[in-house]
């Protein structure tokens, strides 16, 4: 994929889809910087990346909800590599806020947009000077398939993700003259910690085998009305491969796209 001499930052890269993306990039020989808060998850991901073939890997602990720590994290990246080829924003919320419109107050709306939109915006802003120094550059933002089929309980989260998709489309147009390509990847249902936590909290009569991708999809279909043609949830490695192609030098002519990776749906 033309990534072997490249450098990449993955925000929210210590768990779930972000971690799977780090490992996929590492296997291509990429130098990987992982941004998240928790030190243990960062250290584990860095060790796994080096084991998978990364030429360099570093975990930077930062809170992407705050401007100054984000700027500091990218200063560390600049000091280490001087330039950057790839930014992947997979950062997502700790909890999705499933209370619906009537019970979502201003603070919750602001919190949803802070992590769901502004975290990615901050990272793009801090990254651009580094991307502009590189001979080629790509941005991938991870949104959500719920922007295309609404679940009423997920209103603030989904609105924030829709804003991220919109920002991405705008960026793809703005950055095209500089040869910087931006794409959005919209996941359906994936077996990550967030979903596991939701499933674990369900009562025994829902008959869940934890970790079972078919059981997980049954619950998501029942509770949120989001089925998938393939009838199962996805494994994070299955979306990581799509993200990494979009982020790679091999992607030369796709920009401004919003890619559904959702096990099949009739949404475009
Ligand atoms: N899982 C799904 O089915 C699904 C479906 C649609 C869309 N998505 C979206 O896809 C993306 C990846 O989801 P996922 O389920 O793989 O996520 P995840 O497993 O919950 O991982 C989230 C990552 O973001 C980091 N993070 C969270 N808040 C942060 C903050 N304030 N500052 C820095 N890092 C922070 C976490 O590490 P720390 O906690 O250590 O900071 C972790 O590395 C998210 O944007 C999510 O909204 C997921």
Which of ligand 1's atoms lies nearest the C-alpha of 145?
6
pLDDT in tens, 185-207: 999 999 999 899 989 999 999 99
pLDDT in tens, 158-178: 999 999 999 999 999 999 999
Question: What whole-number distance in Å separates Cα of residue 132 and Cα of residue 177?
Answer: 12
Q: How far is the CA of 240 from the centre of ligand 1 (A)?
A: 13
Question: What whole-number distance in Å separates Cα of residue 90 and Cα of residue 195?
Answer: 15
- Closest Cα to atom 19, ligand 1: which residue? 16
Top mutation candidate among 91, 122, 151, 189 for ligand 1, by most atoms within 8 Å of CB: 91
pLDDT in tens, 124-142: 999 999 999 999 999 999 9
Helices (H), the chain: 16-27, 39-52, 67-81, 106-113, 119-133, 155-175, 193-200, 213-224, 236-246
Q: How far is the CA of 14 from the centre of ligand 1 (A)?
A: 9
- Closest Cα to atom 17, ligand 1: which residue? 16
Tokens of 193: 């910690």
Indicate if ligand 1 lies below 6 Å from the C-beta of 187: yes
Q: How far is the CA of 261 from the centre of ligand 1 (A)?
A: 16
Top mutation candidate among 9, 10, 13, 15 for ligand 1, by most atoms within 8 Å of CB: 15
DSSP state of 2: -
Tokens of 119: 């975290």
Q: How far is CA 131 from the centre of its chain?
A: 19
Considering only CA atoms, give the Rg of the chain: 18
Indicate if ligand 1 lies below 6 Å from the C-beta of 55: no
In degrees, to the nearest 5, what angle opens at C-alpha 20 toward C-alphas 236 and 3?
130
Phi and psi at 95, nearest 5°, equal: -140, 150
- Closest Cα to atom 34, ligand 1: which residue? 36
- Closest Cα to atom 8, ligand 1: which residue? 144
Q: How far is the CA of 177 from the centre of ligand 1 (A)?
A: 31
Q: How far is the CA of 44 from the centre of ligand 1 (A)?
A: 16
Q: Residue 95 above 80 pLDDT?
A: no
Q: Residue 268 above 70 pLDDT?
A: no
Q: Residue 226 above 90 pLDDT?
A: no
State pTM to two decimals. 0.97
CB of 87 closer than 8 Å to CB of 9: yes
pLDDT in tens, 11-66: 999 999 999 999 999 999 999 999 999 999 999 999 999 999 999 999 999 999 99
Q: How far is the CA of 236 from the centre of ligand 1 (A)?
A: 12
Tokens of 150: 């609404």
């Amino acid at each position: 994929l033309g990534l072997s001499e490249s450098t990449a930052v993955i925000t929210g890269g210590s768990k779930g889809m972000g971690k799977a993306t780090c490992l996929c990039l590492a296997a291509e020989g990429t130098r990987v910087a992982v941004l998240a808060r928790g030190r243990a998850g960062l250290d584990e991901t860095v060790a796994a990346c080096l084991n998978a073939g990364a030429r360099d890997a570093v975990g930077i602990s930062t809170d992407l909800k705050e401007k100054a720590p984000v700027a500091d994290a990218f200063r560390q990246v600049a000091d280490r590599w001087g330039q950057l080829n790839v930014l992947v924003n997979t950062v997502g919320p700790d909890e999705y806020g499933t209370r619906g419109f009537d019970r979502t107050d201003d603070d919750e709306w602001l919190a949803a947009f802070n992590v769901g939109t502004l975290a990615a915006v901050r990272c793009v802003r801090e990254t651009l000077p580094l991307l502009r120094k590189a001979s080629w550059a790509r941005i991938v933002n991870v949104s959500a398939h719920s922007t295309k089929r609404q679940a009423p309980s997920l209103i603030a989260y989904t609105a924030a993700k829709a804003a991220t998709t919109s920002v991405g489309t705008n960026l793809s147009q703005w950055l095209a003259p500089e040869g910087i390509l931006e794409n959005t990847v919209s996941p359906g249902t994936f077996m990550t910690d967030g979903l596991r936590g939701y499933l674990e909290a369900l009562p025994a009569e829902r008959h869940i085998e934890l970790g079972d991708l078919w059981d997980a999809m049954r619950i998501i279909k029942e509770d949120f009305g989001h089925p998938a043609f393939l009838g199962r949830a996805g494994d994070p490695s299955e979306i990581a491969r799509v993200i990494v192609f979009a982020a790679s030098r091999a992607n030369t002519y796709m920009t401004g796209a919003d890619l559904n990776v959702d096990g099949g749906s009739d949404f475009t």
